[in-house]
Amino acid sequence: MIRVWLTGLLRRQRARLLGAAVGVAVAVALIATLGSFLATSQATMTERAVRSVAVDWQVQLNPGADTIAASRLITAVPGVAAVAPVGFAHTNGLSAIVGGSSQTTGPGMVLGIPATYRQLFPQQFRTLTGADSGVLLAQQTAANLHAAPGDMISIGRDGLPPVAVRVAGIVELPQANSLFQTVGAPPTAQPAAPPDNVVLLPEREWHNVFDAMAVNRPDLISTQVHLRRDHRLPPDPAVAYSAVRGAAHNLEARSAGAVLVGDNLGAALDAARGDAAYARVLFLFLGLPGAVLAALLTSTVTAAGAGRRRAEQALLRVRGATARQLLVLATAEAAIIGAAGALAGVLGAAVVNTLAFGSPRFGTTTTAALGWPAAAAATGMAVAAATVLLPVWRELRGRTVADARRRHGSSSLPTWARLGVDGLILAGAVLVFYATTGSGYQLVLAPEGVPAISVSYWAFAGPALLWIGAGLLTWRLADLLLGRGHRLIAVVLRPFTAELAGTVGAGLSRARRPLVRGIVLLTLAVAFAASTATFNATYRQQAEVDAQLTNGADVTVTTTTPLPAEVTARFAAIPGVRAVEPMAHRFAYIGADLQDLYAVHPASFTRATALQNGYFPQSDAATRMSALTHAPDSILLSAETVHDFQLQPGDPVTLRLVDASTKQPRPISFHYAGVVTEFPTAPKDSFLVANADYLATQTGAATPNVYLIDTGGRDTAAVAARVRAVVGAGATVTDIASVRAQVGSSLTAVDLSGLTRIELSFALVLAIGAGALVLGLGLADRRRSYALMVALGARSRHLRALVFSETSVLTAAGILAGGVTGSVLSLMLVKVLRGVFDPPPDTVAVPWLYLSATAAVTTGALGAVAAVAVVLFTRRPAQTLIRDQ
């Protein structure tokens, strides 16, 4: 019997089976593809975090520790790939005689580097000029001494005469902050900035210079063992963090206090694991609605033939079929739909992965490569069972044979509509949204040093309730419009249907429930497409803002020594440059705290860079810049500084800055004008922003050492190369193109373009399927009614009026309701997922081109379905259509 039943379905109900299988396939493909992105992105985050670290561990040997025993213990740690001892010595000053003038500096650090160090840790130093080995000066130190390769410098030693050495090269220290960290100290106790004066000596020479000083001043000498670990780590950053952090703690415990571990690798993985949690959140926020929508599409396709299915089942029951036999037949049908959809979905996901990510694999590990397709296929089978088997089971339990043979069900409102559940759900969405986005809200919380990550999954309730409530409200309004409001529809359609307007309105009202389901499904699909596209567009917008915030502008020049005054005009004359804005970056003491100070020309600052309103809490960029212009002694402070010093707007603030004439710090008075949280090129922690002209008046000079160059976003690499030709090796030139892939979190660094294409493509497919497939199956289910009209004398224009009227109502209502729902949902998503954005957006980016294309393509697909239906209804003999039913 099963074979006969399935054969009949394949012969007579191919379109419905194919439609249901397509819905399952879309759900399976979406889950499998997003799952593979999740697995791949987590592995990418781990890989990027590992690559960003120059030295995995800096193991500090404590005073009095047995150096030989500690080194032996460190080498024996599992996973150690390479080690190198590094000596650290404090110098009381450096000096040099260059070009007949004597130059001196303040205290600094002298490092003793083994011969193999640069080979083992290539990212730690970068040669700017001269040799790669020998006595090397840091870039800032060379600028302070005006020294170059071949010059002699003197290294001061406490209690001993200075030692002269010859400079072999100048190097940059890209990771100076971690290199000169205080190992074992909490983040709040770390140095505010690395030392300005750094000399690198070969290991043997370092010992010759400082071993004697270690006898009298052992507190000025220390030793670290720099270590590179085996980088074969778990792909999940959280798991990798736990493994690395646990190994570091194990070493400290086994050493019995002899060593402290500066876990640079663990710190990088610590940041990445929070971003991995956000990737999982994005998977749920952006992927789960698509999978649910695909399941609803399958359910709607299956429900399109519900009346006919009930009649067939009633006939079988009259002829003696038992409930168990009917459930077996339904199970076989669900198995065919589920298996076909799962297979097609997995194959489709492999193709999509190849196009989007360059590989058909579903992850970087065997578990992910097999787990995600299996999980997606299981979901597809569950969708098929829920949409095919569950309705049959419900019918058998709740309907008699006589009830089941009725072709049309009751038109009364369902229970949820009578109880106003849609309004309650929407009210719940508003309450949850405000509760989860209030003060102190954090979607993902990754406490430092704690392996567990806390994700506020409660925040999912707001968008989910909004989506569900909007769908139910759309059902209510569409049912009301097509029911009691059918006369209004007749009036609207009269210009297109003429004398058939009343008939069309009455026909839509009588068979409104399938059309209402189509409207709801199209609404949810359009809302999904709109919210997904808007979120992705906003994400791309803020990634670009983050890149410009970090680099400062399209091209940024940073100098260690003042450049000639005419250099601004020379920059402006470079082809491709639209504007140049100089800025002074200095340091100032506020109380005992040393902070970065940025001196700007507020009236012209935004010519070369952009300022987001989000940088200035409780105000906006224009207001804050205007305050610096009209009250030159105004100053903008970080929120931390305002809190620490208990300041109120207008309060006087005294900073200590170096005077140009005396070279000594002197107090300068300012007035607190507002809070600034972000600023181009500024660090994440505390900093100050002041008026450059006022600063020059008070200190005698405000020489710019940062130049922000606007290129209009075009040819930034080429313009940067031309700028380098102007400034030479005396300045650092960066362009936004090279910074864009490095800035922000590792989540930002992961290439989301592939995921964006996947989401938007699936959203478009679901929008088309929700409208066209449901409409086509609905028209096919009512082809007997149209055939009777033809038999009674209806002409082609009459059929066109009927079919296209239904299509127009479905299209207009679905796209309009979907657009409104998508707009509100987009705002809610951006607000709930604000932790993804750095900095938060001032405005939501609306991808009008994609949204217009989605509306146009969906409308075209619906129109094409309607046109094909009219052709089939008019060209096939009415007797054949009636007999087929």
**Left, alpha or beta for 256 (phi > 0: left; psi -120 to 50: alpha)?**
left
Q: What is the 3-state secondary structure (H, E, C) of 564-598?
A: CCCHHHHHHCCCCCCEEEEEEEEEEEECCEEEEEE
Q: How many CB atoms lie within 10 A of CB 462?
A: 24
Domain termination residue (choose one: 229, 259, 288): 229
pLDDT value of residue 493: 77
List, in sequence order, every residue forming a beta bridge with 160; answer none if it has no partner: 157
For residue 99, being part of any structural domain is answered with: yes
Do both 155 and 120 map to the same domain? yes
Taking all residues of the chain, what is their mean pLDDT, rounded to a whole number? 81
Q: Are 223 and 88 spatial neighbours (Cβ–Cβ below 8 Å)?
A: yes
pLDDT tens, residue by residue, 430-459? 988 888 776 666 666 655 555 566 667 777
Q: Is residue 69 part of a domain?
A: no
Do 744 and 592 touch, CB atoms closer than 8 A?
no
Q: Is residue 186 part of a domain?
A: yes
In this prediction, residue 877 carries a pLDDT of 52
**Contact predicate 92/138, CB 8 Å:** no
pLDDT band, residue 472 (cuts 50/70/90): very high
What is the SS3 assignment for 822-876? HHHHHHHHHHHCHHHCCCCCCCCCCCHHHHHHHHHHHHHHHHHHHHHHHHHHHHC
**What number is the average pLDDT over the span 553-562?**
85
Cα 393 to the center of its chain, rounded Å: 43
Give CA separation, 515 vs 461, 470, 714, 784, in Å: 29, 17, 50, 17
Same domain? 697 vs 785: no
β pairing state of 101-104 and 94-98 = antiparallel
Q: In this structure, are 295 and 359 located in the same domain?
A: yes
Cβ atoms 227, 208 nearer than 8 A: no
237-292 pLDDT, tens digit per residue, is 888 998 998 899 888 888 877 888 989 998 888 878 877 777 777 777 767 787 78
* 417 and 496 housed in the same domain: yes
Q: Does 355 share its domain with 315? A: yes
The pair of three-digit structure tokens given for residue 124, joined into one six-digit string? 């730690």
DSSP H or E run through 599: strand 593-600
| Co-location of 714 and 797 in the same domain | no
- Has residue 682 been placed in a domain? yes
Helices (H), 187-322: 203-216, 237-254, 264-282, 288-303, 306-318
Domain hosting residue 691, numbered range: 553-735
pLDDT per position as a tens digit, 702-729: 688 899 999 988 888 899 889 888 887 6
535 and 669 co-located in one domain: no
- Residue ending a domain, choose from 349, 380, 409: 409
Q: Summarize the confidence of residues 166-190 as an average pLDDT.
A: 83
The tally of domains found in the chain comes to: 4
Whether residue 622 has pLDDT greater than 60: yes
- The answer to whether residue 245 is domain-embedded is no
**Same domain for 664 and 813?**
no
Confidence of residue 208 (pLDDT cuts 50, 70, 90): very high
Q: How many whole angstroms separate alpha carbon 711 and alpha carbon 577?
A: 5
What secondary structure, in 3-state letters, does 109-132 show?
EEEEECCCHHHHCCCCCEEEEECC
Tens digit of each residue's pLDDT (9 = 90 or more) over 7-48: 766 666 666 777 778 878 888 888 888 788 777 778 878 888
Q: Is residue 60 part of a domain?
A: no
Choose among 550, 647, 655, 654: nearest CA to 594.
655
pTM above threshold 0.85: no
Q: Which of 181, 199, 229 is the last residue of a domain?
A: 229
- Are residue 400 and residue 426 in the same domain, yes or no? no
Written as one letter, the residue type at 63 is P
- For residue 254, being part of any structural domain is answered with no
Residue closest to 814 by CA, chosen among 65, 300, 273, 365: 300
